[in-house]
Amino acid sequence: MKKVKNTKKVKPATKKIAATETCCASSIWSWTIYVYWFIILFFIAATFYIIGRSQEFLHPAAKNIIVTEEALIQPDDYIASAKEKLVAGNIEEAITELSAAVDANASSNLYALRGEAYMQSGDYQKALEDFDAAIEVDGMNAVAFYDRSLLNTRLENYDAALTDINNALAAQSMKPSDVLTMRNLYAKRGQLNLWLKNWQGAIADYTNSLARSEGSVSANVYAERAESYTAMGEYENAINDYTSAIRVISEQIQAAPTQEEREMQSSSAMSYFEKSAALNLSLGKTDAARTDLESAFAIASALNDEESIARIQNLINGLN
């Protein structure tokens, strides 16, 4: 008998093993991908969670904020609007807006500005309360001290007004405000000293005011210093100051915004000429007095001021 070789029995086993290995490999690969994706998604979710928690930690109240129209209006917006209304004469509306601003942010400047509005409305008690509150919030608020000085002046509390203007000067020198100048503050204190008959103090303040470089010179400062010199019997100095006041008016009158303002300045110059004439007469300077009166007469004629024309004409006739 011939022997038959059994060569085909190995192949099926080999194929089965190969198929099993391929299947296992494919299954392992699939599970590995799932594991990788699971890890990736886990880290992504963890990252967003951490970011979200950090935002909540940094801004814990953010989720409770409700944005309203009132929240978008800042105190500066109220201030700008209120100032426009004050200039336009809508004082009650300005007070309403400033009160809303004070409720939102009770700052020293807001109290001072509302106090100014109350002062314009004639409610001096509320104005005083606001100026007091402004100073309590900021003891270096020069504007609040200055405003309270103006209020005390209206109430004829001159000693209190003088104390306030002293504090305003001190505050302005240490914490300057853009709406004030040392020139005007010295002039205001000079005026208070003039009313209190502190002639030397008034002269010193007016001199300090004129020596400052900021702002423009006021003819009133020269004229009021002239009054102080007159009270002290220093007539020559007084005449020089009236002359300076008239010069300032002649330089500034063309820049006056209205005809009414120009007429008021001209009337002041006429008055200064008359006062200078009286001082020149006291010094025995008749010719200088006549020149002053003739200048005053010319202004009265230009203004068509019949009462002043008659008065000054009589004075000139008296000199003759």
Q: pLDDT tens across 17-26, in order?
A: 444 444 444 4
Interatomic CA distance for residues 227 and 193, integer angstroms: 12
Task: Please report which confidence band the pLDDT of residue 96 belongs to, taking 50, 70 and 90 as the band edges.
Answer: confident
Residue 215 has what DSSP assignment? S
Contacts of 161 (CB under 8 A, 6+ apart): 149, 150, 152, 153, 192
CATH topology of domain 76-180: 1.25.40
Ramachandran assignment for 284, one of left (phi > 0), alpha (psi -120 to 50 degrees), beta (any other): left
DSSP E strand stretches across 168-313: none
The H-or-E segment that residue 56 falls in is helix 10-58
- In the chain, where the domains are located: 76-180
Task: Please report which confidence band the pLDDT of residue 291 belongs to, taking 50, 70 and 90 as the band edges.
Answer: very high
Read off the amino acid at residue 224.
Answer: E
Angle at 246 between CA 258 and CA 202, to 5 degrees: 105
Six token digits for residue 265: 């300045």
Tens of pLDDT, residues 126-154: 999 999 999 999 999 999 999 999 999 99
Rounded to two decimals, the pTM is 0.73
pLDDT at 74: 53
Cα 299 to chain center, whole Å?
A: 39
Arithmetic mean of pLDDT, 231-239: 98
